[in-house]
Amino acid sequence: MKRETKPRPRRKAAPSTTETAGATPWTEGIPLGTGGAIHPLFGLGLWSVGRWGPDDEIRTRSAIGRALERGVRWFDTAEVYGSGRSERLLGDAISAHPVGPAAPFITTKVSWEHLRPGQVKAALTGSLQRLGRRSVDLYLIHGPDPRVPLAQTMPALEALWKEGKIGAIGVSNFGLDELEEAGAALSEARIAVNQVRFNLFDREDAEPILEHCRQHGVLVEAYTPLLRGLLAGRYLDGERPPREIRGLSHRMLDDESMASLLARARALRDLANERAVPMASLALHWLRGQGALPLAGATRPEQVDELLAAIAARPEPAVLAEADRIARGDDGA
């Protein structure tokens, strides 16, 4: 069924959280655009699915299954994750588990290498086939390609939105200029989401766009909310981040940066222990206080349980303010 063609007004303020009876913090959500869909507050990112060996893949399948059993709704993948294996494994896991009261909210992404109009449609067709779906709730540009004008890409996405194959259009890793350029290239749809790297320690890309996104009703999704586990307590007792993890962390976990980060992360752990909350809850709920929706990874079922326990614990605003001061280094740590 074709979508209505009546122009849609831009929302000037972020909407309030929607809660339902018996909801858990990971099933609550925020209206996405003006179409009535609800975007969950917390999600599971599947960037690692298909990246490792067979045993790791089996564990990740189990993690997805545990998340579905626990009522997690938002799953984020991309065509480049494992060269499509992430999407296929997610589709298989969903088909193997009965759908609960609320269907999963699925995000996938078109690669920065496929942004020409014909490529966009072909990429989405491939993603839908791997996912076993007729449509996705949210489709993101994974990152801009300076060789392809957004004036070409955005109308191609809008055409797919009008066909009902995309519930909402979003972008990832876009700065202010790119957000404005992308929005200007749309005629009826609008940019619903910008997914960016954002956590207590890594704010450089996100902070400049937050106010713009609030004013224009663009939801901010935060990937690496736990900085590859550092903000959940990993690497604090002598373990060194593996080379691949360091390579994916934009030099944040390189040896020359780690000494300062470790001192502040240990202070955050002390704060969490003092307040009897999981350390990760400081990072996740701090992001919610900034208006961002955290998207965390888990590759084992027990990691899913730990993540949901951290989400369920809600630190007081004063505790989150103290965590912010520590993370900025304002306390001298």
> What per-residue confidence (pLDDT) applies to 214?
93
- Its domain, for residue 79, covers 29-229+279-314
Strand, coil or helix: 84: helix
| Active site annotation includes 223 | no
Please report whether residue 331 resides in a domain: no
197 domain residue, yes or no = yes
Task: Report d(CA 202, CA 215) in Å as an integer.
Answer: 23
How is residue 99 written in tokens? 């759908």
Residue 301 belongs to some domain of the structure:
yes
pTM (2 d.p.): 0.88
Output the pLDDT for position 5: 38
Q: 76 has which bridge partners? A: 45, 107
| Number of domains comprising the chain | 1
Question: Would you give the distance in Å from CA 243 to the centre of its chain?
Answer: 23
CB 61 within 8 A of CB 301: no
Q: What is the pLDDT of residue 195?
A: 97
Structural domain contains residue 44 = yes
At residue 328, the 3 state secondary structure works out as helix
- CATH number reported for the structural domain that contains residue 107 in this entry: 3.20.20.100
* Residues sharing a CB contact under 8 Å with residue 259, sequence separation 6 or more, in sequence order: none
Among 81, 139, 223, 235, the active-site one is: 81
Instruction: Give the separation between CA 146 and CA 251, rounded to whole angstroms.
Output: 23
| Of 311, 265, 305, 308, the residue nearest 288 (C-alpha) | 311
Q: Rounded distance, CA 320 to CA 41, Å?
A: 18
pLDDT tens for each residue of 161-199: 999 999 999 999 999 999 999 999 999 999 999 999 999
One DSSP character per residue, 281-305 reads HHHHHHHHHTTEEEEEE-SSHHHHH
Under-70 pLDDT residues of the chain:
1-23, 34-36, 49-53, 99-101, 242, 244-252, 254-255, 331-333
- The reported pLDDT for the residue numbered 26 is 73
Residues contacting residue 168 through CB under 8 Å, at least 6 positions apart? 32, 33, 35, 37, 137, 138, 139, 161, 189, 192, 193
3-state secondary structure 205-234: CCHHHHHHHHHCCCEEEEECCCCCCHHHCC
Tell whether 261 is covered by a domain. no
pLDDT, tens digit, for every residue of 220-264?
999 999 998 999 999 888 777 767 666 666 666 766 777 889 999
Which pLDDT score, from 0 to 100, does residue 2 have? 37
Q: Cβ neighbours of residue 324 under 8 Å, at least 6 residues apart?
A: 200, 286
Overall residue count recorded for the chain in this entry: 333
Helix, strand, coil percentages, rounded to 5, for the chain: 45, 15, 45
Whether 43 maps to a domain, the answer reads yes
* pLDDT of 16: 47
pLDDT value at residue 100: 65
Cα(88)–Cα(303) distance, integer angstroms: 21
Asked, for residue 1, whether it belongs to a domain, the answer is no
In a domain, 241, yes or no: no
Query: How far is residue 294's CA from residue 283's CA, in Å, rounded to a whole number?
Result: 9
